[in-house]
Amino acid sequence: MISNRRKLFLWTVRGLMSLATSLTGLLTLFLVGYVLIRGIPNVSWELLSTSPSYLSDRIGILPDILNTIYIIIATLVIVLPLGVGAAVYLTEYASNKRIVGIIEYAAEALSGIPSIIYGLVGMLIFSNNMGTCLMAGALTLVIMNLPVIMRNTQESLKTVPQAYREGAFGLGAGKWRVIRTVVLPGCVDGVVTGCILSVGRILGESAALLFTAGFAHVANGFIEGLSSAGATLTVALYVYAKEQGEFEVAFAIAAILMILSLLINLSATMVTKKFQRRNQ
Amino acid sequence: MKPIITAKDLCLWYGQSQALKNIDIDIPECSITALIGPSGCGKSTFLKTLNRMNDLIPGVKITGTVKYNGTDIFAQDVNLLRKEVGMVFQKPNPFPMSIYDNVAYGPRTHGIRSKARLDEIVEQSLKDTAIWDEVKDRLKKNALGLSGGQQQRLCIARALAVQPQVLLMDEPTSALDPISTLKIEELASKLKEKYTIVIVTHNMQQALRISDRTAFFLLGELVEYGDTDQIFSNPADQRTNDYVTGRFG
Ligand SMILES: Nc1ncnc2c1ncn2[C@@H]1O[C@H](COP(=O)(O)OP(=O)(O)OP(=O)(O)O)[C@@H](O)[C@H]1O
Ligand SMILES: [Mg+2]
């Protein structure tokens, strides 16, 4: 028999909890809705396909879109072999489990560091030597995303059944052949998940890039672009809103980024689901 | 018959604990040798020593000698040894690739690139393991879609495709139904014309049905080794007698 006071207490707790839940949901919905409603009407083909011009007083975000694409490509091209290689080394070759543990812990800790600190260090190491440019930004992002790729690859390497490795060794395959033909194909999902998460982080990054990649809005080719300063969409959002008071453009960019990150989350969830199904 | 594998004074430790104690054994060519004994007595450990699969386990220490065709296996290139001495595992472990690629994996590993030659090897290996008729129309399909018994015969075909001399089988039928088991037993009896087979089994009937020689292991020691008929009908050691008559184990 529960006393009435106890009942009242339980009711209140339940009430407060559902209030908190609905508040969270409403806030998220409000934020997403507000950005989309204010942003989408400002997204026009002209905005997406032109460069800004002071002469005609026009703002276009094509350079920022290109810069974002360039920096994503450059970062992934460098971080993928490094991250996957490190993961393969740690799970398949390294014999000292303690050192492996320390490195895994360090990678975990590295992902928790505020990105502005990466920016500061990236500026000192990269920008001060090669100038403020997208490449300096990409290299900074490589350091930020290395743990993401490495940990995701490692986790999926661990799910490759030992029986596959034994089967391949038993046929006289060398270590590298076993890794290349049996182990790596089994961890593609982890690499893909890591990539999607990294793209999400790169899209959302501002602090680290403000320090290292600068904020020019000039449309360049790939190589030219990497060696000059440039703003990604997120940095451009900051610049347009804060420095130039161009809120229509800022919200248009915000809406685009919002949609992209929703898509990225969705695809990450889908890959993970597929991955779990396969491992059952 | 001439021995193809000879172990002398073989001891093996996993870290501090000794799993094999002074094993002396001669395994004759083109015959089936069964390894029997209670769980944990070292059958798998001994079997894995023969193609150095124990190399993969950290902390393993081995003393004594094992010779394959007269040469010390520990002084030999391990990948070439495993090409000669193949292995079939307890649980069927086909790779998650097509049936064809599974069988072609070994030959490709050892440098065979010609499509025609690979086709030939795949067909022959699948015929040797009596599974060709069941899979010839789906060679490009994923091997994981096969039944357990078919997967195990595929794994045997995969092992045969590198043309080994010896086939090590660790309880190859323990995960299979009686009909698949029978097929594998028939297969083993047929294969011994060309290959030497060493098989670990917990099934006394199976040992009796298919093997020529039987080795009884207990607590890491080789208690008795002889012709299968003699081991089962007239064992020299009391412990062997107790085990094969089902008094323990
Ligand atoms: N990787 C390992 N590390 C440490 N000890 C091991 C390892 N593998 C086996 N052992 C030990 O070595 C002994 C022999 O094991 P083994 O697997 O060879 O037995 P088995 O005769 O094959 O048994 P079963 O019939 O259950 O398969 C056991 O005591 C086992 O615990
Ligand atoms: Mg065993």
* DSSP for residue B36: E
Whole-angstrom distance, CA of residue B121 vs CA of residue B119: 6
* Chain B residues whose beta carbon lies within 8 Å of the beta carbon of residue A161: 93
**A32-62 pLDDT per residue, tens:** 999 999 999 999 998 998 888 877 788 899 9
Closest CA to A256 of A35, A96, A50: A35
Hey, what are B142's tokens?
């994923």
- Residue A242 in this model has a pLDDT that exceeds 80: yes
Partners of B215 in the β-ladder: B35, B225
Asked if residue A182 lies in contact with residue A168, where contact means CB atoms within 8 angstroms, the answer is yes
Say what the ipTM of the complex is.
0.92
**pLDDT attached to residue A273:** 81
| B109/A177 CB distance under 8 A | yes
Residues of chain B with confidence (pLDDT) below 50: none
Q: Which letter, b or e, does each residue of B49-87 get, where b requires 16 or more Cβ atoms within 10 Å of its Cβ?
A: bbbbbbeeeeebebebebbbbeeebeebebbebbbbbbb
Whole-angstrom distance, CA of residue A167 vs CA of residue A199: 36
**pLDDT attached to residue B177:** 86
Tally Cβ neighbours within 10 Å of residue B32: 26
**pLDDT attached to residue B204:** 92
How far off is chain A from B195, nearest CA to CA, in Å? 16
Asked if residue B64 lies in contact with residue B222, where contact means CB atoms within 8 angstroms, the answer is no
Asked if residue A161 lies in contact with residue A101, where contact means CB atoms within 8 angstroms, the answer is no
Q: Give chain B's domains with CATH numbers.
A: 3-244 (3.40.50.300)
User: Could you give the count of Cα atoms lying within 13 Å of B73 in the half-sphere of its Cβ?
Assistant: 29
**pLDDT attached to residue B144:** 93
| Residue numbers of A between 56 and 95 with CB closer than 8 Å to B | 95
Asked if residue A159 lies in contact with residue A215, where contact means CB atoms within 8 angstroms, the answer is no
- Residue A98 in this model has a pLDDT that exceeds 50: yes
- Residue A279 in this model has a pLDDT that exceeds 60: no
| A164/B91 CB distance under 8 A | no
How far off is chain A from B95, nearest CA to CA, in Å? 6
Sheet containing strand B71-72, edge to edge, reads B17-28, B3-14, B60-68, B71-72
Measured from the alpha carbon of residue B21, the closest ligand is: 1
Which alpha helices (H) appear in chain A, and where do they start and end? 4-39, 45-49, 62-88, 97-110, 115-122, 128-130, 134-158, 162-170, 175-178, 188-204, 207-212, 222-226, 233-238, 247-278
Domain A45-279 architecture: Orthogonal Bundle (1.10)
> What would the mean pLDDT of A160-166 be, rounded to a whole number?
94
* Chain A residues whose beta carbon lies within 8 Å of the beta carbon of residue B51: 170
**Within an 8 Å CB–CB cutoff, is residue A168 touching chain B?**
yes
Q: How far does Cα B83 stand from its chain's mean position?
A: 13
**B23-78 pLDDT per residue, tens:** 999 999 999 999 999 999 999 999 999 999 998 888 999 999 999 999 999 999 99
Q: What percent of chain A has pLDDT over 90?
A: 70
Backbone angles phi, psi at A214, to 5 degrees: 80, -170
Amino acid at site B249? G
- Residue A277 in this model has a pLDDT that exceeds 70: no
**Distance set, CA A167 to CA A162, A174, B94, B180 (Å):** 9, 12, 8, 21
Whole-angstrom distance, CA of residue A277 vs CA of residue A217: 44
> What would the mean pLDDT of A254-274 be, rounded to a whole number?
88
Whole-angstrom distance, CA of residue B79 vs CA of residue B68: 14
| B89/A166 CB distance under 8 A | yes
- Residue A280 in this model has a pLDDT that exceeds 50: no
How far off is chain A from B247, nearest CA to CA, in Å? 34
**pLDDT attached to residue B36:** 95
**pLDDT attached to residue A278:** 60
**pLDDT attached to residue B41:** 94
Asked if residue A164 lies in contact with residue A182, where contact means CB atoms within 8 angstroms, the answer is yes
**pLDDT attached to residue B42:** 94
**pLDDT attached to residue B91:** 92
- Residue A106 in this model has a pLDDT that exceeds 80: yes
Whole-angstrom distance, CA of residue B98 vs CA of residue B244: 42
- Mean residue pLDDT across chain A: 91
**pLDDT attached to residue B32:** 96
